[in-house]
Amino acid sequence: MSSVLFDAVTCVYPGAERPSVDDLTLSIDDGEFLVLVGPSGCGKSTTLRMLAGLEQVTSGTIRIGDRDVTDVEPKDRDIAMVFQNYALYPHMSVAENMGFALKLAGVNRADREQKVRETARLLDLEAVLDRKPKALSGGQRQRVAMGRAIVREPKVFLMDEPLSNLDARLRVQTRGEIARLTRELGITTVYVTHDQTEAMTMGHRVAVLKDGVLQQLSAPTTLYDRPNNAFVAGFIGSPSMSLFTVPVADGRPMLNGRALSGPVEAAGGLVQAGIRPEDVHLAAPDEANTELTVDAVEVLGAEAFVYGRTHVHGADSARLTARVSGRRHPGIGETVPVRLNTEQLHLFDAATGRRLEATVSA
Ligand SMILES: Nc1ncnc2c1ncn2[C@@H]1O[C@H](COP(=O)(O)OP(=O)(O)O)[C@@H](O)[C@H]1O
Ligand SMILES: [Mg+2]
């Protein structure tokens, strides 16, 4: 077991104009399950591959435990990686697939078999040890790939979107299994996904990347409740937080002439306001602070999401999403009064996107 440290790490691919990972400083505790999340192309795989030694670090240092591994060969780093395309050897049985790395490492047959059997028990694969990969379900294959990594007892697990090839139900089940397993084994894990739900449900802490730059590193609930900037605010949460630009009068953000919050330090007379769907409620006209003109409704059963537009200022309108009861929701084309719970309003600098705090509430 080991901690991991990225210290001011940058990766510029040969010929590239800008870094794929830009001055990343990130410290991961021994035994922690850290999730790296962000949109496609933000540098997640590059970060993981630098830790694995598969990509050259342009500048900065990477440590595993107290050892500087920046220039250490991949095979000498004591890590195990599980990829999205976990190619199993098709001609080998499950047991042989799982024991192969140990065989290469010169572990004797008896020890190998014992280790494989223990791991198979952990992963509920004992009954299929003699099968070939083609005779397994997608979920079982994924577990064999996990098993192959686990038998080696690495210091650090690296997982790059390991669930992308599974169907939705299996993905939910397997993400629970991976979280449980790594917790039981206590092995430091760096887990990459573009899926914010996976990040929120699995990570002890979550690192959000955009364009190679770390945006925020926090516990999942902190990311949700106090996003550092408008990007994190919009990326974390599903459906997304509604974000709209409003004018500022006497320091106060205004929605259709009403103050949304207490004074903020906003540059340029504008501020970006954000509100999550669960903080937008259908309301009686005298309790409403705006209206929602509905253009789409998603009924999930108990709840429904209502998507539409709201007036913000003068002729300006913005997209707004509300979470309402699945039994009682407005129809498409209707305009209904809604109340934004301004206690839960998020404010961001209109130019930089940086989080702002109102000094007093409205
Ligand atoms: N081998 C490579 N050579 C040049 N550019 C690359 C290479 N691999 C990735 N990139 C670029 O680096 C950026 C980050 O890629 P990547 O780390 O794969 O992102 P993610 O895993 O978050 O989708 C992208 O702009 C991608 O096009
Ligand atoms: Mg990737």
pLDDT in tens for each of the 362 residues of the chain? 699 999 999 999 999 999 999 999 999 999 999 999 999 999 999 999 999 999 999 999 999 999 999 999 998 999 998 876 667 899 999 999 999 989 988 999 999 999 999 999 888 899 999 999 999 988 888 889 889 988 888 999 999 998 887 888 888 888 888 888 888 889 999 999 999 999 999 999 999 999 999 999 999 999 999 999 999 999 999 999 999 999 999 889 998 888 888 888 877 889 999 999 999 999 999 999 999 999 999 999 999 999 999 998 877 889 999 999 999 899 999 999 999 999 999 999 999 999 998 765 55
Give the pair of three-digit tokens for residue 228: 């550092």
Task: Give the SS3 label for residue 294.
Answer: strand
Per the CB < 8 A criterion, the answer to whether 1 and 78 are in contact is no
Ligand 1 contact via 13 beta carbon (within 6 Å) = yes
The predicted pLDDT at position 262 comes to 84
The predicted pLDDT at position 203 comes to 92
Give the pair of three-digit tokens for residue 202: 């699995």
Per the CB < 8 A criterion, the answer to whether 142 and 86 are in contact is yes
- Of all protein residues, whose CA lies closest to atom 11 belonging to ligand 1? 20
Tell me the C-alpha distance between 57 and 46, whole Å.
10
Q: Which amino acid is at 190?
A: V
Report pLDDT digits (tens) over 310-348: 998 877 889 999 999 999 899 999 999 999 999 999 999
- Pairing label, strands 33-37, 188-193: parallel
Tell me the C-alpha distance between 66 and 48, whole Å.
19
- pTM of the shown model: 0.92
> From ligand 2's centre to the CA of 38, what distance in Å?
10
> From ligand 2's centre to the CA of 34, what distance in Å?
16
- Pairing label, strands 280-282, 335-340: antiparallel
Ligand 1 mutation pick, 6, 9, 13, max ligand atoms within 8 A of CB:
13
DSSP state of 224: H
Task: Give the SS3 label for residue 131.
Answer: coil
Per the CB < 8 A criterion, the answer to whether 260 and 253 are in contact is yes
Per the CB < 8 A criterion, the answer to whether 70 and 5 are in contact is no
Atom of ligand 1 nearest to the CA of 49: 17
Ligand 1 contact via 45 beta carbon (within 6 Å) = yes
Q: Which domains does the chain have, with CATH numbers?
A: 4-225 (3.40.50.300), 239-356 (no CATH)
- Of all protein residues, whose CA lies closest to atom 26 belonging to ligand 1? 41
Residues paired with 309 in a beta bridge: 293, 319
Sign of CA dihedral 193, 40, 87, 169: positive
The predicted pLDDT at position 3 comes to 97
Atom of ligand 1 nearest to the CA of 55: 1
> If we measure between CA atoms, which residue out of 151, 137, 157 comes closest to residue 97?
151
Query: How far, CA to CA in Å, does 38 sit from each of 98, 170, 194, 225, 348?
Result: 31, 22, 5, 18, 20
For every residue of 2-50, DSSP letters joined together read --EEEEEEEE--TT-SS-SEEEEEEEE-TT-EEEEE-STTSSHHHHHHH
Q: How many CA atoms lie within 13 A of 62 on its CB side?
A: 24
Per the CB < 8 A criterion, the answer to whether 47 and 191 are in contact is no
Ligand 1 contact via 16 beta carbon (within 6 Å) = yes
Cite the DSSP H helix spans in 168-210.
Answer: 168-185, 196-202
Q: At what angle do helices 94-104 and 138-150 cross, to 10 degrees?
A: 20
Per the CB < 8 A criterion, the answer to whether 297 and 307 are in contact is yes
**Nearest ligand to residue 38 Cα:** 1
> From ligand 2's centre to the CA of 40, what distance in Å?
7
Q: Which helix (H) or strand (E) holds 102?
A: helix 94-104
Given strand 156-160, what is the order of strands in its sheet?
79-82, 156-160, 188-193, 33-37, 205-210, 213-218
Determine the longest span between alpha carbons in the chain, in angstroms.
78
Tell me the C-alpha distance between 125 and 123, whole Å.
5
Give the pair of three-digit tokens for residue 92: 């080998």
